[in-house]
Amino acid sequence: EAGVVQSPRYKIIEKKQPVAFWCNPISGHNTLYWYLQNLGQGPELLIRYENEEAVDDSQLPKDRFSAERLKGVDSTLKIQPAELGDSAVYLCASSRGGRGEQFFGPGTRLTVL
């Protein structure tokens, strides 16, 4: 079984530019999560989807961050415009149901210059 797929693995952009990250969860997993991980810290939840519905986006900075999961499968997280403080690893995870074990992808490391 393929794991959670994320792309790109690395992204370097200049501040004020837009950036997008893509995630394909494990087949059959209806719950999808986006986390942000700063260096030396644990992941912090940005948004959680149940199928195509965002059920928890309380930690998503909505002035510059947006996410979508239009068909309830893969998802895109966007930042526009990016700021220096957005440099971090963006992790995607999926689970079978809201209380299932979460499986993480390898993450996208974003560097904003």
Partner 1 sequence: GESVGLHLPTLSVQEGDNSIINCAYSNSASDYFIWYKQESGKGPQFIIDIRSNMDKRQGQRVTVLLNKTVKHLSLQIAATQPGDSAVYFCAENTGTASKLTFGTGTRLQVTL
Which residues of this protein are in contact with partner 1, per CB under 8 A?
4, 31, 39-45, 48, 55-56, 91, 93, 95, 97-107, 109
Minimal distance, residue 62 CB to partner 1, in Å: 18
How many helices, marked H, and strands, marked E, lie in the chain? 0, 11
Minimal distance, residue 90 CB to partner 1, in Å: 10
Minimal distance, residue 87 CB to partner 1, in Å: 12
Nearer Cβ to partner 1 (39/70): 39
Alpha-carbon torsion 15, 10, 88, 104, what sign? positive
Nearer Cβ to partner 1 (105/112): 105
Nearer Cβ to partner 1 (78/109): 109
Exposed e or buried b for every residue in 21-39, given b needs 16+ CB within 10 A? bebbbbeebbbbbbbbbee
Nearer Cβ to partner 1 (76/81): 76
DSSP states of 83-109 as a string? -GGG-EEEEEEEESSTTSPPEE---EE
